[in-house]
Structure 1
Amino acid sequence: MSDEWTTSTIGALIAAAGGHIKTGPFGTTLKAKEYTKIGVPLISVGEIGYGKIQAHEKTPRVSPEVVNRLPEYVLRTGDIVFARKGAVDRSAMVSQEQDGWFLGSDGIRLRPPESIDSRFLAYQLQSDDSRRWIIQHATGTTMASLNQGVIDRIPIVVPPLHAQRSIASILGSLDGKIEIDCSINRTLEAMAQAIFKSWFIDFDPVKAKIAAIEQGQDPLRAAMRVISGKTGTELDQMPRAHHDELAAIAALFPDAMEESELGEIPRGWSFRAADLLTEVGIGKTPPRKEPHWFTEGEGYLRWVSIKDMGASGVFQQRSSEFLTSEAVSRFNVRVVPDRTVLLSFKLTIGRVSITDGPMVTNEAIAHFKLLEDSVISAEYLYLYLKGFDYSMLGSTSSIADAVNSKTIREMPILLANSDLIDCFTTSVTPIFEEVRNRQDEIAALGATRDTLLPKLLSGEIEVSE
């Protein structure tokens, strides 16, 4: 480490060079009745991840009037926000797109002085050393909590500003590539979901056939237009092989609807209970009071929790904990094979993923293991469960209390004819494989970034001016 590199604390830097720390507004300042469903996102624990801020459908919002009344809580590009309760080691920098968002009561904002590059500081706060320090010094007995005093004392390394920017640039280039891959994967998944929705939820090809028959037109051509998005003229201009393939797909759709116990569905289709189509299993947690059954970082098998499912993409690759082989054997924990669909059904209901290799899960996650002769595919089931209305499973006011393993086993799965499901699977398999490949690349880039981070912070790897 160069002599120009110094060590300090966040509080000492603020005292010497400016900046400040601000805790989010409490109830007396911002009342719950002022939260809205539209407006400016309010950033608290639920929106702050490890190095990323992300609003979602449950994110509360506030009106522009509240923002104008409380400007001191407005977030600006380069601010760093901390989760004040629970996972206190989570922090992230506010991006340009998030400029103007609002600080929630369970968040703490750090506005660094101009002598510190915000991206550099944000990366340093995500290092293993910084996160361990925050966890060890957080307050609270039942739930870890942060306050301004704890953040003041966080130790940091302070290289010259040019070195800070170089380090941030190196790590940022890797994160940039990760974000591009993530964006492409979101687009790819949306493409697969759009096809599934059109075929198996909205029944567009079937309805097109029905409308064509009523109008005295060719139902097969109508379905072909809907499936391909092409006009009649464009269909005529297609190469013969592609035209015939499209016609074969369109022919697989019925030309009428019929009533079922769950509403109208295409004629000949049906609903089947999940455990009649798949082998449904539930995960298990060894006794937490015996921590030797669990490991972090590596172990015999990945042990997946709902939190891990929330951090993954289509394919479940990561887990924050592992089980030992002895734990799996002693407690008869079900090992889930590769390409098994997972579904969270307790507390947080409806997170879905596909296993990427063998793993185990906790008891809040159900596994849908497909048999060799199964009439549905992992891709079909994944997309079906992603769009499923889970509120229909519960009859109580709290869906989280209503859903249990028996309910999951009896979940109705829409079953189209097997040839159509096979055709659909063939169509979307390349999309899913591309998603899987990009997830592998994301994991490799993330591992490279995490390996570089401590070496750059320690000066082991020198950075250019």
Structure 2
Amino acid sequence: MTFYNTYDRKETQLGLIPINWDVVKLEDALSLLTDGSHFSPKETADSPYYISSVKDLGVDSILIDTCKRISKSDYDRLVRAGCKPEVGDVLFSKDGTMGICFVYKQTMPIVVLSSIAILRPNKDFDSYFLKQYLSNKATLDLIISAHSSGSALPRLTLTNLKDIPVIKPSIAEQRKIGNILSDFDLKIELNNQINKTLESIARTLFKSWFVDFDPVRAKMAGEPPESICKRLKFTPEILDMFPDQFVDSELGKIPEGWVVNQISQFGDVVCGKTPSKTKPEYFGTGIPFIKIPDMHNDVYVVSPSERVTPLGVASQARKTIPPGSICVSCIATVGKVVITHEPSQTNQQINSIIPNSPDYTVYLYLQMREKEKEFHDLASGGTATLNMNTSTFSKVNVLMPNFEILKRFSDFTVPIFNEILLRQKESNILSNIRDTILPKLMSGKIRVPVGDTNE
């Protein structure tokens, strides 16, 4: 694919654009602009019908596992009211978290709430182009600054959305632009899906060995070693590491020879701190400064929202944590967990474990993920804001297996997590490239040839 620059441009309300492009209102790009239900139906357990709010929107799809289930009668009523998106519609979050945007591709029985706008492009506009245009930072900044309600909960009305100016290249050029940018999105999403699968593999092994104790139970049940090894994909050497009975502990029944440790016995616990914001020289190019918003949806933080300079690091050197540390959010949004892959610092809402052994890293990460509800309960001290202090966090009980078994688990899972990190880094590079060329494509500073036979 080749790109070429264009020089014949005209002035518009959106700045200079190619002379053969137009600017129209969003309503003129659509055959339908609506939103979802303005009332929230009652939840119906085990129903196969779903309703989505903004919190259920992922990067490029509705997260069905978090959606509320509703009755068939409520679902049918909302379908008749136009609250069900069609494949090819563009969904745009207009209340609360504003600007989540993707082309809808799902075929499940899902309707949406009023916090989500449904945009159905007309024949002159391509869905993927429109999605990319609305995802452009310049467009989002324009929308938010010009139309946000200004209330504590940012909100757009359908009337606001109708008036948003939209560039209009030819449909052929729109499709080329949409396809180029969507290729980046597809590769990033593929990496995300592979990483979810890889983490699931590690979690399955973790659960079998350290939650369900499958090898121990199989031995206790008298299952022949050959059968256990075949079923659990063990070698006899690994099977021999596991005991054949349980003992009582603070955590209930655990395998004989294993113990219960507090988190602080696995390594040093460091509570983060924010360098002085009055010193701008403390922030800029440097090591990651991890905050809770950086901890969502990934194992590692490869693109932190902020970094600390060497001066900032030196101002609180004891708050630096090494690669392989496990960070756990403990205030407000409690129970988010990530692993550091380079020296980092965190803010005061995060407690970090610096493991005594690198073989603890993956095990502790999965243990901390397993304890999300326990952390939440410990942080619920009767105040409005959840808060689990460092002392309470450090004393949480965690199962300590035989180190030989823990070492073998690490040998199996560390390569999996290394692959996850590589894919996260690749996705970050792709995201940066996409975000660099997106505004240039949307302004026409870079043009894509239409009808190029050498694609």
What TM-score do you get using the length of structure 1 for normalisation? Answer: 0.83
Cα distance per residue 1:16-60 (max 9 Å; x no partner): xx5232233223xx44x35656433322221235x5233154432
Residues 137-166 of structure 1: CA distance to partner in whole angstroms, max 9, x if unpaired?
Answer: 212243322122322232222110011111
> Matches of residues 52-131 of structure 1 in structure 2 within 5 Å?
52-55=60-63, 57-71=65-79, 72-95=82-105, 97-98=106-107, 100-131=109-140
Q: Name the SS of the counterpart of 1:22 in structure 2.
A: strand
For residues 69 and 111 of structure 1, what CA distance do their matches in structure 2 show? Answer: 20
CA distance, structure 2, for counterparts of residue 88 and residue 456 of structure 1 = 23
For residue 367 of structure 1, report the CA deviation from its aligned partner.
0.8
Shift of 1:133: 1.2
Partner of 2:289: 303
- How is 1:42-441 mapped onto 2 (pairs within 5 angstroms)? 42-49=51-58, 51-55=59-63, 57-71=65-79, 72-95=82-105, 97-98=106-107, 100-137=109-146, 138-212=148-222, 218=224, 220-228=225-233, 246-285=235-274, 292=280, 299-311=285-297, 313-330=298-315, 334-371=319-356, 374=357, 376-388=359-371, 390-391=373-374, 394=377, 401=386, 403-441=388-426
Q: Matched residue of 1:255: which SS? A: coil
Task: Read off the aligned partner of 2:74 and give its amino acid letter.
Answer: V
Helix, strand or coil: the match of 1:7? strand
Specify whether residues 349 and 58 from structure 1 end up closer, same or farther in structure 2 by C-alpha distance, changes over 3 A only. farther
Pairwise CA distance, 1:271: 0.9
What's the CA shift for 1:124? 1.0
Could you say if the C-alpha distance between residues 419 and 110 of structure 1 is closer, same or farther in structure 2, counting changes exceeding 3 Å? same
Change (3 A) 1:308 1:35: farther
Residues 206, 26 of structure 1: alpha-carbon distance in 2 compared, 3 angstrom cutoff: same
SS in 1 for 2:294: helix
Match of 1:21 in 2: 33
Name the count of aligned residue pairs.
429
1:461 and 2:433 correspond: no
Name the amino acid aligned to 1:139. Answer: S
Q: Return the letter of the residue paired with 2:49.
A: V
Report Cα offsets for 1:161-209 as digits up to 9, x if no partner: 0111111111222222222222222211111111111111111111111
Matched to 2:221, the amino acid is A
Superposition deviation, residue 402 in structure 1: 6.3
Alignment CA distance shift 1:281-1:56 (3 Å): farther
Percent identity between matched residues is 28
- What is the alpha-carbon distance in structure 1 between the residues aligned to residue 126 and residue 160 of structure 2? 21
The 8 Å contact of residues 77 and 99 in structure 1, kept in 2 or not, is answered as: no
Q: Is the 8 A contact 2:336 2:372 kept in 1?
A: no
Query: Does 1 or 2 have the higher relative contact order (CA < 8 Å, sep 6+)?
Result: 2
Secondary structure (helix, strand or coil) at the match of 1:110 reads strand
The question of 1:5 aligning with 2:28 is answered no
SS at match of 1:8: strand
Deviates more, 1:374-383 or 1:181-190: 374-383
Please give the secondary structure, in 2, of the residue aligned with 1:19: strand
Corresponding residue for residue 39 of structure 1: 48
Cα deviation for residue 406 of structure 1 reads 2.3
**TM-score w.r.t. structure 2 length?**
0.85
CA distance in 2, matches of 1:206, 1:398: 40
The answer as to whether partners of 1:24 and 1:73 remain within 8 angstroms in 2 is yes
In structure 1, distance between residues paired with 2:49 and 2:332: 27
What SS does the corresponding residue of 2:323 show, helix, strand or coil?
coil
- 5+ long unaligned stretches in structure 2: 1-5, 7-17
Query: In structure 2, what is the Cα distance between the partners aligned to 1:42 and 1:155?
Result: 30
- Deviating more after overlay: 326-335 vs 199-208: 326-335
Distance 1:325 1:45, change over 3 A: farther
Counterpart secondary structure, 2:386: helix
